[in-house]
Amino acid sequence: MADEPRIRVVLAEVAARRGPADPARTDLAEQTPVGEALVKGLVRAQLALALRLSLVVVTGLGALPLLFTVAPAVGTVTVFGMHLPWLLLGVLSFPFLVLVGAAYVHWAERNEQDFAAVIRRPGQ
């Protein structure tokens, strides 16, 4: 080990090889007002998406009991040997919720990709 030459590392040389820092990434890392605004925009977009899809679920599933109360004849309809309320609320509500969940994941990932594209955009 004593025969190995010593290597001198200078931090300025390493930083110079990396190239100029991306201003948007610096804003995020240093939590500047611009970085905070970018993150708040992403959080607002995700919250708006969650609220819209929650409204879809509440409207879709909440309207069914209301329908069966307002029009009791609809509740007596039999499909495939099951009463319609049981079929809609007990069976078909789960695929509906899975579809809404899949849509949420897809759109939330798209929001995050848009956010990442703003961060990666050259020449800001």
Domain of residue 26, residue span: 20-120
In a domain, 71, yes or no: yes
CA-based nearest residue to 104, from 53, 56, 39: 53
CA-based nearest residue to 52, from 123, 113, 104: 104
The whole-number pLDDT of residue 50 equals: 97
User: pLDDT for 47-65, tens place per residue?
Assistant: 999 999 999 999 999 998 8
The whole-number pLDDT of residue 43 equals: 93
Q: Are 94 and 103 in contact (CB under 8 A)?
A: no
In a domain, 8, yes or no: no
In a domain, 52, yes or no: yes
d(CA 115, CA 70): 45
Q: Are 55 and 62 in contact (CB under 8 A)?
A: no
In a domain, 13, yes or no: no
In a domain, 65, yes or no: yes
In a domain, 106, yes or no: yes
In a domain, 109, yes or no: yes
In a domain, 4, yes or no: no
Domain count, the chain: 1
On whether the pTM is more than 0.75, the answer is no
Over 70: is that where the pLDDT of 30 sits?
no
Q: Which three-class secondary structure state does DSSP give residue 2?
A: coil
